[in-house]
């Protein structure tokens, strides 16, 4: 997403379904944040500062591995706390918790039906199992970070840092929640499989199969792909998430509630790190007070909807 200064110092940016960004409003300490305008031109105020001061402007800047590593850890910490300090996150936690509880009332019948359907078979179940483990080892995420630096792709660098922080938050939450004895894995409950394999999985989580640890890596990538790269990356990531969730249920390793619980935690953590990214990595001031405005955005050949937050 690139912004250009037009006549009269009015800035205009072409937006797909990409990430949110903020623009100085001309009033000291106040910013406008434009998010998710679909398929059109978004016009915003008068440009009053350098583009680097605008949130989510992907202009190449100097990076050091050490500082970026510290920023990822700081982002994970502040993102975790942010989940419990904003009403939208609290409401999402309540809503997803309630939905998960309702589904849990009939979870064994749901799991049995999917397992009997046997849509993807043993080969597909094995692919889902292996892919879940691979995506939870942050090799690809770290590789994306260094590739972004090598190619001066600032969006890829920020994407990789955001994914790493969100991944860390969600994995820690999944590991902690799994210590609560909700239920055993479906196959263990039936007596067809012993609990635990004696491997690293037993060290990172408890005996409860809720929520699914395998789902964390792919679902975090799904939410961040939609945020940074729009539908072209978001749709494949969503299909991969659905496939892996089905594989974990069909194999008898998880209930539907385990899968949905992990995806919900990933989404809430993703929202929290997005909200804190610029403050942690760029020092851009933010405020909890904001006003939401929705308006049409029209261009010569395009149309869209602009959602504006004024901080």
- pLDDT tens column, 237-295: 999 999 999 999 998 889 999 999 999 999 999 999 999 998 998 887 654 434 445 55
211 is a domain residue: yes
Query: How many domains in the chain?
Result: 2
pLDDT band of residue 55 (cuts 50, 70, 90) is low
Same domain, 37 and 85: no
What mean pLDDT do residues 148-176 have? 95
Length of the chain equals 311
What average pLDDT is seen over the chain?
76
Mean pLDDT lowest among 47-51, 117-121, 135-139: 47-51
- Tokens at 283, concatenated: 């020092």
Alpha helices by DSSP H, listed for the chain, are: 65-82, 87-104, 107-117, 121-136, 139-150, 154-177, 186-190, 200-204, 214-229, 231-250, 256-281
Distances from the Cα of 43 to the Cαs of 59, 107, 223, in angstroms? 20, 48, 26
Same domain, 270 and 290: no
The neighbour count for residue 221, using CB atoms within 10 Å, is 25
Same domain, 150 and 12: no
pLDDT confidence of residue 20: 44
Same domain, 221 and 290: no
Same domain, 139 and 7: no
246 is a domain residue: yes
Same domain, 91 and 33: no
pLDDT confidence of residue 300: 56
pLDDT confidence of residue 194: 65
pLDDT confidence of residue 234: 94
Cβ(279)–Cβ(1) below 8 Å: no
pLDDT confidence of residue 304: 62
Whether the per-residue pLDDT at 148 is higher than 90: the answer is yes
The neighbour count for residue 140, using CB atoms within 10 Å, is 14
pLDDT confidence of residue 114: 85
pLDDT tens-place string over residues 85-115 = 888 888 888 887 887 787 777 887 888 888 8
pLDDT confidence of residue 7: 37
Same domain, 175 and 256: yes
What is the extent of the structural domain holding 25?
A: 3-55+284-310
């Amino acid at each position: 997403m690139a912004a250009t200064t037009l006549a009269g110092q009015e800035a205009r940016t072409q937006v797909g379904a990409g990430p949110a960004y903020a623009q100085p409003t001309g009033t000291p300490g106040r910013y406008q944040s434009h998010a998710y305008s679909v398929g059109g031109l978004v016009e915003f105020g008068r440009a009053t500062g350098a583009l680097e001061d605008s949130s989510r402007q992907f202009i190449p800047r100097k990076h050091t591995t050490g500082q970026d590593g510290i920023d990822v850890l700081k982002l994970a910490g502040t993102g975790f706390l942010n989940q419990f300090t904003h009403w939208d996150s609290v409401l999402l936690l309540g809503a997803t918790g309630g939905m998960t509880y309702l589904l849990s009332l009939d979870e064994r019948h749901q799991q049995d039906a999917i397992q009997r359907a046997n849509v993807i078979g043993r080969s597909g179940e094995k692919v889902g199992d292996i892919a879940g483990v691979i995506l939870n080892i942050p090799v690809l995420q770290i590789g994306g970070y260094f590739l972004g630096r090598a190619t001066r792709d600032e969006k890829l660098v920020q994407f990789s840092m955001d994914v790493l922080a969100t991944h860390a938050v969600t994995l820690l939450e999944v590991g902690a929640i799994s210590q609560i004895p909700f239920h055993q894995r479906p196959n263990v409950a039936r007596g067809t499989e012993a609990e635990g394999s004696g491997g690293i999985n037993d060290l990172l989580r408890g005996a409860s199969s809720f929520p699914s640890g395998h789902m964390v890596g792919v679902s975090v990538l799904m939410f961040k792909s939609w945020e940074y790269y729009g539908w072209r990356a978001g749709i494949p990531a969503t299909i991969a998430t659905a496939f892996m969730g089905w594989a974990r249920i069909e194999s008898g390793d998880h209930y539907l509630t385990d899968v949905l619980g992990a995806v919900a935690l990933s989404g809430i953590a993703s929202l929290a790190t997005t909200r804190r990214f610029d403050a942690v990595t760029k020092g851009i001031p933010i405020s909890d007070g904001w006003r939401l405005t929705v308006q049409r955005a029209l261009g010569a050949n395009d149309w869209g909807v602009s959602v504006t937050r004024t901080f």
